[in-house]
């Protein structure tokens, strides 16, 4: 019988705070990542399929960043800042999993948003695969879920390549659902 032991936030943060994939560094965001947050979340191109407007100003992106950092502090994991190993510190986007309540259950919500200059290189797939692997291995009590608009083909492809399964039985009016562990 396997024990589903839940890791504490201090154990989780040691696992999640810095992850290296083939080409990327996935790291806990820092308070100084506000301008990178705004570069990605203020760019209308990255909101083409998202029903909300891009962030109107730096302060809005910084407020979101603070909420993400608070969640890291409390829970030991959350969305990563994504950098290329080649350039180390230049943030090209954000993604990963954070705990989220959906249908009255805690889930590990899968997310990715990269700056358009780097699209088409398979980086999102690399982020998503690492996020799903880490969530299944270390947050096994949480289903991993991605909710994606049907028109957002790059995002659908990324979810497929992450290892999540398409779940038409869970679809919503606005979103197609991919999941593992639900
Ligand atoms: C979704 C997103 C993260 C994908 O990033 P990416 O690094 O370009 O992804 P990949 O290079 O792994 O490509 C994923 C798929 O999209 C396709 N794609 C990439 N850029 C594309 C473009 N400009 N137009 C159409 N398809 C594109 C790729 O061909 C690939 O499909 P394939 O597996 O059939 O080859 C990126 O498009 C993005 O940040 N979008 C805006 C934010 C968003 O919609 N996030 C998800 C919902 S919250």
Distance 116 CA to ligand 1 centre (A): 9
User: How would you label 131-156 residue by residue, b for 16+ Cβ within 10 Å and e otherwise?
Assistant: bbebbbebbbebbbbbbbeeebebbb
48 three-class SS: coil
The 8-class DSSP code of residue 103 comes to T
42, two tokens = 């203020």
CA of 37 to the centre of ligand 1 (A): 18
Phi-psi region at 88: left, alpha or beta (left = phi > 0; alpha = psi -120 to 50):
left
Strands 144-148 and 105-114: parallel
Give the pLDDT confidence of 32-50 residue by residue, as tens digits.
Answer: 999 999 999 999 999 998 8
The tokens describing 145, both together, are 């879920």
Write down the pLDDT at residue 89: 81
Ligand 1 mean position to 155 CA, how many Å?
Answer: 5
pLDDT at residue 4 in the model: 62
Superfamily of domain 9-180: Gcn5-related N-acetyltransferase (GNAT) (3.40.630.30)
Euclidean distance between CA atoms 87 and 25, whole angstroms: 10
Q: What is the DSSP letter of 176?
A: E
pLDDT tens digits along 78-99:
999 999 999 988 999 999 999 9
Q: Is the pLDDT of residue 146 over 70?
A: yes
Share of the chain above pLDDT 70, in %: 98
Please give the mean pLDDT across all residues of the chain: 96
In three-state secondary structure terms, 58 is: helix
| d(C-alpha 82, C-alpha 171), whole Å | 29
Q: Is 114 in the pocket of ligand 1 (CB under 6 A)?
A: yes
Q: What is the pLDDT of residues 49-61, one digit of tens each?
A: 888 899 999 999 9
Domain parsing of the chain, residue ranges: 9-180
- pLDDT at site 42: 97
Instruction: Give the predicted TM-score (pTM) of the model.
Output: 0.95
């Amino acid at each position: 019988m396997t024990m589903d032991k839940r890791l504490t936030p201090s154990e989780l943060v040691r696992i999640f705070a810095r992850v290296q994939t083939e080409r990327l560094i996935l790291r806990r965001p820092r308070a100084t990542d506000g301008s990178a947050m705004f570069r990605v979340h203020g760019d209308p191109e990255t909101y083409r399929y998202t029903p909300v407007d891009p962030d109107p100003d730096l302060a809005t992106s910084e407020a979101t960043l603070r909420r993400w950092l608070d969640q890291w502090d409390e829970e030991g994991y959350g969305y990563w800042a994504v950098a290329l190993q080649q350039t180390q510190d230049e943030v090209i986007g954000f993604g990963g999993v954070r705990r989220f309540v959906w249908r009255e259950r805690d889930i590990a919500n899968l997310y990715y948003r990269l700056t358009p200059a780097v699209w088409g290189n398979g980086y999102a797939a690399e982020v998503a695969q690492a996020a799903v692997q880490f969530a299944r291995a270390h947050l096994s009590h949480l289903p991993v879920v991605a909710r994606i608009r049907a028109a957002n083909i790059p995002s659908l492809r990324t979810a497929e390549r992450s290892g999540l399964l398409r779940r038409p039985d869970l679809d919503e009016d606005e979103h197609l659902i991919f999941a593992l562990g639900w």
